[in-house]
Structure 1
Amino acid sequence: MMKRPAISDYQSAESEQLMKRLRPAGHGIDEATYPAPTPQPSWSLDDLPRTVACTLSQGSNVTSMDFHPSRHTLLLVGSANGEFTLWEIGLRERLVSKPFKIWDMQACSAQFQSVLAKDSSMPINRVTWSPDGDLIGVAFAKHLIHLYAYQQPNEARQVLEIEAHSGGVNDIAFSRPNKQLCVVTCGDDKLIRVWDMHGQKIYSFEGHEAPVYSICPHHKETIQFIFSTSIDGKIKAWLYDNAGSRVDYDAPGKWCTTMLYSADGTRLFSCGTSKEGDSHLVEWNESEGSIKRTYSGFRKKASGVVQGVVQFDTAQNHILAAGEDNQIKFWDVDNTNMLTFIDADGGLPGLPRLRFNKEGNLLAVTTVDNGFKILANSDGLRSLRAFGNRPFEAFRSPYEASAMKVSGAPVVAGISPNIGRMDNLDRNSPAKPSPILNGADPASRSIDIKPRISEEKPDKAKPWELMEVLNPQQFRVATLPETPDQTSKVVRLLYTNSGVGLLALGSNAIQRLWKWNRNEQNPSGKATASVVPQHWQPNSGLVMANDIGETPPEESVPCIALSKNDSYVMSACGGKVSLFNMMTFKVMTTFMPPPPASTFLAFHPQDNNIIAIGMEDSTIHIYNVRVDEVKIRLKGHQKRITGLAFSNSLHILVSSGADAQLCVWATDSWEKKKSVAI
């Protein structure tokens, strides 16, 4: 066992007194008998989140979920394919998706590399937020944990990769012994380990005789400790010292058990399943080391039928919920009888996983089709509706990124997520495909901005076929309101990715933004020619003006690109490339002064800090905004670059040039894979 001197030894008189209260007289557990007056709850069934607000598809079996501690509609989801995703439930959108990959294979043990060689799959066992919501912890089914730094709205930066255990890492949690943030893990190797934020092992607790299934760090006053459970049904408690386990309980069912404290930290619950398949939900009396309450309502299983381990959660100091029998079952913490159960409109697995948000007004529950549902009470539904109705400026982050400097932290951070969603567009919107092109009623389908394989039947017209539109009713015309620079002609025009705005770059190097407001005429707030959009500027009155340089405007090649989440726009008009914050219109940075001048721009789809810049001299610069550096120059064209497009799924960059050539580049190595004459 290891101990790092920087962590104080908690073996004090105060802690000893605490652990004496936790330590039972014997190893067995007797259920204590208490008088059972019927409590009168100060809340009603209407407070339970029972209404299905939305159903979302993860694309792989969901294995773990956790809501952000303060952003109550932000859900972290881990899945069996090793990918974790951040969902903004208010927008029904993915903000971040991180597929599994090993960051440093050379640092991995030979044993782990051998395991991977035999089976490269890497399911996630647990995802969790740090108490302040700044860090994400991911525990994998083989050896590893990953820590990411989260920066609003859609940045997750790699922080630590630790080979924490031999075998699976079954649980991960954050704790603060001595006010120092640490990570606690447990694994198949029967160990509980504590790591500092540099990846150094501080403690390794030994004493379990079977793989450790779950951990529950907690504190009483100034005393920090950890409860752990193993698959032989043992519950132990540890102080942050080397003195061994302080208690040794038998969990009800004597198999896999999870422990949770109430939101106020005063009440301890556990829920688990026996090897025979029977489930047990109880409240503990810590001072006596006994069970205070056993909650009823679980179905007696047929002998030998074990589907898995029941999952549970608690909210608002008065609700317990568990998933069983394709249902969600609810209890009042002060009443052992089940309050009610729901099936959430069907589609739940036999033992659904579930997670409350910290306010208790939203509940996420897994589905059988590799997704999850969000259930809400009336407060939760109001918060989701309010989120969808917020104006553009309401998504501004509480802090704004400062001018870009060379540092280890991403600069493109702290900005709001997508302004809105692209589904259910107005049927007259120019952002929606023509019904003639798609051979379908325009009201019959909604549009998803995410790339997808076409599901159209072969006999329908293909999008790339030119079609003659003869029906005048298919056209709508809207004239944009005048602006102070109305005499400037539009040289580049873009819809925002969210479908709620239009961005125009003028020949005077100034960019203007128009937005469609949500109102009775346009309840979706999406792009449509039936309603005139409104010119939008921040309250500061700033405009997005590009550097012109010495090139006459008529001789320059204007270029513009939007980040995937519409938080940033990058543009150039013969001078330096400028990066603007779309919320404030502030210039975040300028770079790449001519010569040569920039002629085309593209954001990397997975990292806003990586930019491809096509140049007048036929080269392509891969530029890292975070460190203000050109990482590599790609050479393959003979004349200026006229187009750049990333493929997220194929991991390639395609470029076109005035030399009538198309080039395909691999984004992992930046090698040219192919060149085709047009």
Structure 2
Amino acid sequence: MAYSADGTRLFSCGTSKDGESYIVEWNESEGAVKRTYQGFHKRSLGVVQFDTTKNRYLAAGDDFSIKFWDMDNVQLLTAIDGDGGLQASPRIRFNKEGSLLAVSGNENVIKVMANSDGLRLLHTFENVSSESSKPAINSLAAAAAATSAAADRSANVVSIQAMNGDARNMVDVKPVITEESNDKSKIWKLTEVSEPSQCRSLRLPENLRVAKISRLIFTNSGNAILALASNAIHLLWKWQRNERNATGKATASLPPQQWQPASGILMTNDAAENNPEEAVPCFALSKNDSYVMSASGGKISLFNMMTFKTMATFMPPPPAATFLAFHPQDNNIIAIGMDDSTIQIYNVRVDEVKSKLKGHSKRITGLAFSNVLNVLVSSGADAQLCVWNTDGWEKQRSKVLPLPQGRPNTAPSDTRVQFHQDQAHFLVVHETQLAIYETTKLECMKQWPVRESSAPITHATFSCDSQLVYASFMDATICVFSSANLRLRCRVNPSAYLPASLSNSNVHPLVIAAHPQEPNMFAVGLSDGGVHIFEPVESEGKWGVAPPAENGSANGAVATPSVGASASEQPQR
């Protein structure tokens, strides 16, 4: 999903059950498709990636080419093949100005295509580099030089009529890796964030005090945060578009407003009657941010996010809902994990349970859909993972999560699951470990275990681009991992965001949420009822540096961190 640059138009790209890919524009107020763009290969050969630029154009990688549309016209505008060598469904990304387009090619090549403005930009870097010996500028100079050389070869020039209606040249830029970048692996060390000045952190304003934050999510538009507290009350913070925040998106640099409708009503769940503290809060947000489905041990409630009005309540316990997930292709279908270990597939429109899935022995603690594989992955307090086919809802396979020796299997603990952006792998989160699983074989590809003497994991999530994993711990530490190998790259210590009066207390994050468009932004919900949002300092722009590849670590000394909150940063296979 992506908004136009001005944030006024919402687009999404998906694949039907028949394997046909499509891009659509949404009418957000009605939650309905406004237009569907034509021109895709009949059966796309992979997951189609797309991007927008200049509030006017759409581009997508499909059928070994890049296809362009005018946002206001469903017919294909043009297509280019970048002189060949592109992947079947190449990944693409415009720069902010829309003058450069990065495209993934075969054999680990990244092609950079430039229009005339982009070429001027690259030549500017080339001119600057002649006056400076900084390695970063040299890298850009080499890239710009490659651009100049490529521009002289007419065979490498592709004419395109897409941008602003005039003919622009899109030129391949070959990547150049300098020796300086290779040498960085020899001096790599874990990035430690221990002072407030070492990151951008903001505790959101609290007009309504609550005991603890049980669930947390950014809205899909990226301009608000929704929290569910342990007392069944929902809290919503919104960032406003103004001179200091032109996009209106969430940021740690400016505080949002805790929002309520003019009526003053709250979104409050039907709470468990007997033991409200033992209830398992859960919620799920619709794709268009218009509705939230939520439960806190009692009935499931459907709320309107604009008015906070309760639209419907259903499924009174027992059993009680413990996890909710919208079907990715139909907002009327919800997967509901229950505390009796079953999963109910419920159709909201007709108020009917379509199927009841049985395979776990304890309450359901996680659900995740893959709209590419057409499966539902479930996890439970029994530490079991199950894969279900979404066509007939049959169980395809299951596996018990291996727990550390000496830990009794009878001790219940939440196991969370979340799909990677590739929709083929998923993250497993347990208090004892992080793991990446391949779905079709249910095989563990990477694992990061917690030392027996260390604080357990409370929650974890992928960044929006699935390149990072953010994890919170019981001792209030927050760790950032590279998802490719589950190796630790940055650690945020409690002293960086908790005041001195709380740093020695038991206050810690219970939940963690990633921003849907900014890979380096995340938020945590605390056990004292607070919500913190985090970003790296602007001069860094990211959370640490990825550790060198495992097979290359012998080339130089790698500083292995002493991880107080967790295990050795080396992953297990």
Higher relative contact order (CA 8 A, sep 6+): 2
Q: Which one has a bigger Cα radius of gyration?
A: 1
TM-score range, shorter-chain basis? 0.3 to 0.5
Normalising to structure 2: TM-score of the pair? 0.41
